[in-house]
Amino acid sequence: MIQRVQSIWLFLASLILFLLLILPILTKQGVNGELWLQVGGLYQKTNNITQQIQSLPVAFGGTIFIGVICLINIFNFKNMTLQKRIILLAILLIIALVIYLGVYTQKIPGGFEGVTFNVGTYLPVASIVFCALAYRGIRKDEQLIRSADRLR
């Protein structure tokens, strides 16, 4: 049962969330050098010296937590109702993470002028899509089981 397609979708969702930990969300060329935002915090590179200006422990811990939830949820295949609820919880947590990061990006020095959005900006959307595809796969499995039970 573990080879179901929703297991693949959940694994991809967790993989994307773990990629979000290392990929930058946005970059900006500033007067003092280059700034970039990752889930771990705001970083600045001046004179080939990289330093972390501000840390985001809530976003960092939340991203790890959601990724682990999606990964562990693969093994809940025997309880489809619980698996669907956990997927909905993961989607809500991803949306909350995006809102938190969106509010934080407004506090970047200099605002949005000259900001370049990177791959990390779109990764939460992809993980939501993969979670939704897993939810759909679970729902199809439930319908298949119900139709098989009617034939008995």
What is the four-CA torsion angle of 47, 51, 56, 60, rounded to 10 degrees? 100
Q: Are 138 and 80 in contact (CB under 8 A)?
A: yes
Plot region of 48 (φ>0 → left; ψ -120 to 50 → alpha; else → beta): left
Q: What's the predicted TM-score (pTM) here?
A: 0.88
Distances, alpha carbon 19 to alpha carbons 106, 126, 137, in Å: 23, 12, 24
Where helices occur in the chain by DSSP H, the ranges are 5-19, 57-73, 80-105, 123-151
Say what the pLDDT of residue 128 is: 96
Report residues of the chain scoring pLDDT below 50. Answer: 1-2
CA atoms of 119 and 107, how far apart (whole Å): 20
Q: What is the fold of 5-151?
A: Butyryl-CoA Dehydrogenase, subunit A; domain 3 (1.20.140)
Say what the pLDDT of residue 3 is: 53
Give the pLDDT confidence of 83-125 residue by residue, as tens digits: 999 999 999 999 999 999 989 888 887 777 788 889 999 999 9
